[in-house]
Structure 1
């Protein structure tokens, strides 16, 4: 199971980032709070001392005026406290420019308290003592707390993510295990997952409901293909038997009657046999596509056979020596043959299934013939590629490979109904069937638009297969 970008990884990252964010926030708040608290404590301690020193200074001056000998000024008392008390002109000019109140210097290592009273400036300065070492210790304590909080957050994230993702992992394993089983087999999801009351239970119930719908759909399709197999096989067998009887009776007819009907009977026999083979292939494709057997295919021979059938049926007319780019053919009359320009290399082989390849070739030719605007169809076969193109553009917003999507036929465009995309002689299944057949053959189908001739180009790319390999196969 992929761990990168998983829910468990995202939960771990979220908890770790949350712990780091909280640790940084609380650490900064603690340090800032400590500075404010330190300033408050220094002021709380220094202001009463300042008042006492100022009073001592006032009394000392008064005692000096009365001629007393043992006099203690405020400066003497401050020195005993290892502080410094200045008054009047003793205050440095730099301090004189400061406002009244408490001021700190050197990263709060020293302080100065200024008070102006009766026109005299008093200053009390000293060291803050243990505030800075305590701040460093507090920073270390906060760092340890942040790391401990991060470790606890990661531990909680691991425990919670395991509890939260375990049902998802079980659901994923159950779904992946069912994908590896034989197609068409269905196993219910574990009941404890389906009965959960959280989002995992909702997802499991949705998957179970969707699977039930698919199971019913596959069952209906299986029954339908079985019925089609039974219903089509019987009439096609009857038709083949009837055509064999007609062929025997036709041979016994005297005169030109038998010779006149022989080509028609031959065409009916060939078409019925092709229908039977195509029906078997399509039913096998619907039921067990993995059972399709591939063989070496002579692509040129298969295309020549199909072109001859359409030519005998009056659907196509082979061009002579005229180059594809010379002149412009007039659109043929309704029901008339389309001019085909074929450029096919010899000895082009591929690996595939005969009937599926015939479906690809026939539907591409029929589509080009039906939707050409200039009465021409161009076919080119090279090793590894089959190209079929015809005059006329497919609208950009039209998904031509979707089932049931049809474009306007040649006659409808000539009558001025090109905007009516729904009214078409086609069923809208040909190109969809071509795409599906190419996927099962391992071929790639591409659609292009050639400018400035406004032509639609379909290319079938297939892996080349040499004739020597075909003989060995």
Structure 2
């Protein structure tokens, strides 16, 4: 697993990161303790060595302002000590980095120093670390410096091993911790066949499984009620629609060929047919997508039929409609659903275009319906696919939307685009909208 693929939203990765961070913090704690203990031990050893040397020098040389002892020990009376040491020295052994000249050249080493008071006289005792320190001078300090390197190397190895063990353990434990969750995921994915086996578990996974199982039962009951309601309503509506359609046909047959009432009988007939088709489409949408057959359907034929059916909407307008397609394109889909989706887009284009043209373009990837109509304002965009939300005509006199004048209203319920979007989701297609620079809208159905 690469760093770029490490996803912190994953519970498994969170467990792994937690173990690793815990190991890092634990190692940092032990390293800090070791370094503190090592520093304190070195300070005490250096202090004891320097105090020992002060006593020996006083016995051997008497009272002097400066004592020098090899290797690297120098003791000052406070008054003659370097000012830098006076400013920094305390009762606690301190360490600072210095540069010194040796036989091998200029090297960097550490200087240890502290203040000590004896018989009302203060001394600053210093010790300059030197690789030439021999066992005979101060064997305890010499042995400590050797052990210090050994312990430091051992600590590095221990830290590396601890981090490796933490990584390996996190991989194993995270799988064990998340396995019940993965089992729950699989049980939900396979239509809950194994979900009942997890509901009896006393752990948190069992609680979650029981909650999911209870919610699934509620959803199943809700879907069943919705399907029954859809079926019952559709069945009950077909009878009055059939009566309306039959009555409109009888009425049309009794009118003269040039009667102005023929237009109204045609509208009654078309509306009844359209409502019947909507019911058919809704019944198809209420079924599971995998249970529907998808015959080869001609897109060109559907588009031309819808233009002919809805032609009455632009019959008295200065609007032309064209279909652009290099060949007869087909797609595997129920024709009722494609007819409903494309028909709603063409109907909207016809209704909201007073002059200009409506252009339907078909290619191997999408169906585009472009118009030169009203377009869609920015404030309507968030509500574009909401149910019962409709665009009203713009009053050209004051550039405001009119809801009072009946001549400005467009017939419809505001369900068209909502139904189209639902059909797109059902067929796993995509519906997009673009505003035209010259005015109007372009809706595209992407079916590949």
Normalising by structure 2, we get a TM-score of 0.69
Shift in Å, 1:221? 1.0
After TM superposition, the structure 1 stretch with the greater mean CA deviation from structure 2, 279-288 or 144-153, is 144-153
Counterpart for residue 47 of structure 2: 43
**1:27 maps to which of 4, 27, 31:** 31
Q: CA RMSD in A?
A: 4.9
Counterpart for residue 297 of structure 1: 298
**1:355 maps to which of 333, 336, 340:** 336
- 1:215-364 equivalences in 2 (<5 Å): 215-238=220-243, 246=250, 272=272, 275-290=275-290, 291-297=292-298, 299=300, 301-311=301-311, 313=312, 315-317=313-315, 337-345=316-324, 347-351=327-331, 352-364=333-345
Counterpart for residue 454 of structure 1: 439
Counterpart for residue 404 of structure 1: 388
For residues 264 and 122 of structure 1, the distance between their equivalents in structure 2, rounded to whole angstroms, comes to 116
- 1:140-155 equivalences in 2 (<5 Å): 140-147=153-160, 149-150=162-163, 153-154=166-167
For residues 55 and 281 of structure 2, the distance between their equivalents in structure 1, rounded to whole angstroms, comes to 110
SS at match of 2:370: strand
Checking the alignment, whether the CA contact within 8 Å between 1:364 and 1:388 is kept in structure 2 is no
Checking the alignment, whether the CA contact within 8 Å between 2:306 and 2:343 is kept in structure 1 is yes
Shift in Å, 1:457? 2.6
1:244-287, CA deviations, whole angstroms, 9 ceiling, x for partnerless residues?
Answer: 8x49x96xx8xx86996999878766765555454333312222
For residues 84 and 372 of structure 2, the distance between their equivalents in structure 1, rounded to whole angstroms, comes to 96
Q: Which segments of 5 or more consecutive residues in structure 1 lack a partner in the other structure?
A: 62-74, 318-336, 464-473
Checking the alignment, whether the CA contact within 8 Å between 1:298 and 1:350 is kept in structure 2 is yes
**1:371 maps to which of 346, 349, 352:** 352
Q: What is the aligned residue count?
A: 399
Counterpart for residue 103 of structure 2: none
**2:375 maps to which of 364, 385, 393:** 393
1:387-432, CA deviations, whole angstroms, 9 ceiling, x for partnerless residues?
Answer: 231332322232212222222146x7779761769x9753110111
Counterpart for residue 432 of structure 1: 418
SS at match of 2:200: helix
Checking the alignment, whether the CA contact within 8 Å between 2:81 and 2:124 is kept in structure 1 is no
SS at match of 1:362: helix
Q: Which segments of 5 or more consecutive residues in structure 2 lack a partner in the other structure?
A: 99-107, 128-136
For residues 71 and 297 of structure 2, the distance between their equivalents in structure 1, rounded to whole angstroms, comes to 107
Larger Rg: 1
For residues 97 and 293 of structure 1, the distance between their equivalents in structure 2, rounded to whole angstroms, comes to 92
Q: Residue 190 in 1 paired to residue 198 in 2?
A: yes
Checking the alignment, whether the CA contact within 8 Å between 1:303 and 1:361 is kept in structure 2 is yes
Checking the alignment, whether the CA contact within 8 Å between 1:225 and 1:286 is kept in structure 2 is yes
SS at match of 1:433: helix
Checking the alignment, whether the CA contact within 8 Å between 2:299 and 2:329 is kept in structure 1 is yes
**2:144 maps to which of 123, 131, 145:** 131
For residues 122 and 342 of structure 2, the distance between their equivalents in structure 1, rounded to whole angstroms, comes to 112
Checking the alignment, whether the CA contact within 8 Å between 2:350 and 2:358 is kept in structure 1 is no
Shift in Å, 1:226? 1.6
